[in-house]
Amino acid sequence: MTAAGTRTELPVEPAERGSGWGWKLRVLALVLVFALITLTRSHLVDIPIKDPHGKLFTHKILSTAEMLLVFVAVLSIGDAAYDDGKQNQSDEESEVPKPISG
């Protein structure tokens, strides 16, 4: 440190631990667990993994698109209301006279 208390050297980056395969193996393990859960639930509810003629997929993609549209609309309305409230608040604050310091 200098006399003024500022740092003169840059922080040292920590040494890289491991080979980088650790996170890949954890992601692979997570994918395998989800695959096992999918296969188990598919067997329990007696719905095959393959969707014959896309009946389930077509219905799900439509309902997902509808939910996304509703989510975006609600989010946009909420964001607009928040911005409007913030704008009104700053307008009210600007009307208050500021004290003169002297």
CA 43, 57, 34, 70 dihedral sign is negative
Q: How confident is the model at residue 95 (pLDDT cuts 50, 70, 90)?
A: low
Tell me which amino acid residue 1 is. Answer: M
pTM over 0.75: no
Question: What are the structural domain ranges in the chain?
Answer: 20-49, 51-94
Q: How confident is the model at residue 9 (pLDDT cuts 50, 70, 90)?
A: confident
> What would the pLDDT profile of 12-23 be if each residue is shown by its tens digit?
666 666 667 888
Place of tokens 């989010």: 75
Give every CB contact of residue 48 below 8 A, 6+ residues apart in sequence. 42
Token pair in block for residue 30: 């997570």
Give every CB contact of residue 51 below 8 A, 6+ residues apart in sequence. 57
Q: For residues 18 and 24, what is the distance between their CA atoms, to the nearest angstrom?
A: 12
Torsion of CA 56, 57, 62, 67, to 10 degrees: 90
CA 53, 59, 61, 62 dihedral sign is positive
